[in-house]
Amino acid sequence: MAEGENEMRWDGLCSRDSSTREIALENIRQIILRKTEYFRSVKETPHRPSHELSNAVSSDGLNKLLAHLLMLSKRCPFKDVREKSEFILKSVQELGIRIPRPLGHGPSRFIPEKEILQVGSEDAQMHALFADSFAALGRLDNITLVMVFHPQYLESFLKTQHYLLQMDGPLPLHYRHYIGIMAAARHQCSYLVNLHVNDFLHVGGDPKWLNGLENAPQKLRNLGELNKVLAHRPWLITKEHIEGLLKAEEHSWSLAELVHAVVLLTHYHSLASFTFGCGISPEIHCDGGHTFRPPSVSNYCICDITNGNHNVDEMQVNSAGNVSVSDSFFEVEALMEKMKQLQECRDEEEASQEEMASRFEIEKRESMFVFSSDDEEVTPARDISRHFEDTSYGYKDFSRHGMHVPTFRVQDYCWEDHGYSLVNRLYPDVGQLIDEKFHIAYNLTYNTMATHKDVDTSMLRRAIWNYIHCMFGIRYDDYDYGEINQLLDRSFKVYIKTIVCAPEKVTKRMYDSFWRQFKHSEKVHVNLLLIEARMQAELLYALRAITRYMT
């Protein structure tokens, strides 16, 4: 009777072969019903020695299995698994055991559940994508279900993440997930930390490492400084940081290992930005994603608990795309008019190089004063902060307190000509995958803005991307930074800077306050631009430092 959550064999449910899934489901059903019967008998036997109860199935262990089944009943792309999981839950309930129900309103706290694609209603192409994701991870997570607004990007993202975490590479599998935990913890992203704690244990990671960074090998602890600076002030990274990691005697990193680690760190820093920026809810089977308490409203039938109808009478969050604010209607028209005027100015005259450089410096200075009025420190919880050191270290503008950081000129070191080839040389194929992801995010367009069609959005997308790089001190000589103030209003800039620099401080109010007439899919698109621009900026600083060390 000792099988726990991690000893239960869920792997067979990931198979594309229905007969394999059927055998796995039957095994799971028998194990869970056996545990349930045993648990009932233990509870019902008076004066049973307490040590026998602790050696038997604990209620916590059974609850974890039931929560996993609940997740499968809602999130598995295979219909047979969803239906059988729901059937097993009802069977357990009929035996008098309380079963879990989902908390919240779907994958995002910011986007109404009815606007997000429901598992089971996807088309054939999307089903294949969902099946791939489920086969790789054993789950269809909430990030995937929000990114699915943009299938072309999602496919590239999943392919890249799968390669980083599971395919051949310089680092062992458990190191990869632990680095993911370290990176997500820097932004206090409990959502990603929880996912990768489970993945770390699943691939054989030592549970003692999870007690705190001080319990991990020295080699991983040495990565803490790079993780810290990369997450919050990447412009401070020097070749000395790189040298310290590559020449640490028996704890040294190889160049290939370090590039793999850097890509993982930047991937999870930016993914933490997406998680907070889109208000991603806890996974159904994780803490905060389900409850064993019965619904507070008395008029539910038993079947509601597993069929999801418990949300029907609960208050739905208003769609940000339907805000009835009188001036929001004119935001889109005003923005489109500005784009038209800027294009006409471009066609008529071109600013000098001196003027362009001056406008960059002005925008860089102004970006320092963009932060929300309710900006306050967020104290990390102990279960998150134990995965990183120096908890007080966070984002600080690079020109504050008299510090001057030289401008990073893309003409001197750029992703296309320098970073891409370095990554591909030391960690084959990853450069190609990341490059594809950058290009898809940057070029993605449906030629729409809110209700308007046939709109060229390239000017707006470039302004967003270059504003983020400007905040990191990165300049494009051929871009007129005067366009940024024309196209991005203050509420939007506050949202962008918070997502990119301190994502743990993002609120629903910030999400709702920008582009009020735009659809949620367009706001998710903005988040994709933000996370890819951020990842590229971090990579540029880290890879330039590696290049300087090598030369």
Helix (H, G, I), strand (E, B) or coil at 393: coil
Element containing residue 376 per DSSP (H, E): none
Helix (H, G, I), strand (E, B) or coil at 119: coil
Residues in Cβ contact with 98 at an 8 Å cutoff, skipping those fewer than 6 apart = 292, 294
Strands 101-102 and 448-449: unpaired
Dist CA 138 CA 95 (whole Å): 28
Dist CA 201 CA 130 (whole Å): 24
In this structure, what is the dihedral angle of CA atoms 387, 400, 501, 434, given to the nearest 10 degrees? -90
Between helices 490-501 and 520-550, what is the axis angle to 10°?
Answer: 50
Instruction: Answer for the pair 183, 268: CB distance below 8 angstroms, yes or no.
Output: yes
Tokens of 367: 């970006």
Instruction: Answer for the pair 260, 179: CB distance below 8 angstroms, yes or no.
Output: no
Q: What are the angstrom distances between the C-alpha of 169 and each of 204, 242, 264?
A: 17, 20, 12
Instruction: Answer for the pair 510, 526: CB distance below 8 angstroms, yes or no.
Output: no
Residue 280 forms beta bridges with which residues?
Answer: 108
How far from chain centre, in Å, is Cα 391?
A: 21
Dist CA 533 CA 434 (whole Å): 12
Which among 14, 76, 189, 470 is annotated as catalytic?
189
In this structure, what is the dihedral angle of CA atoms 10, 11, 16, 22, given to the nearest 10 degrees? -40
Element containing residue 453 per DSSP (H, E): strand 452-453
Residue bearing tokens 């989902």: 102
* Residue 283 zone, left/alpha/beta (φ > 0; ψ -120 to 50; rest): beta
189 is catalytic: yes
Dist CA 384 CA 378 (whole Å): 12
> CB atoms < 10 A from the CB of 200, how many?
23
Dist CA 469 CA 234 (whole Å): 11
Closest CA to 415 of 397, 432, 398: 432
Strands 290-291 and 408-409: unpaired
Which one-letter amino acid corresponds to residue 498? T
Instruction: Answer for the pair 320, 450: CB distance below 8 angstroms, yes or no.
Output: no
Question: What are the residue numbers of the active site?
Answer: 189
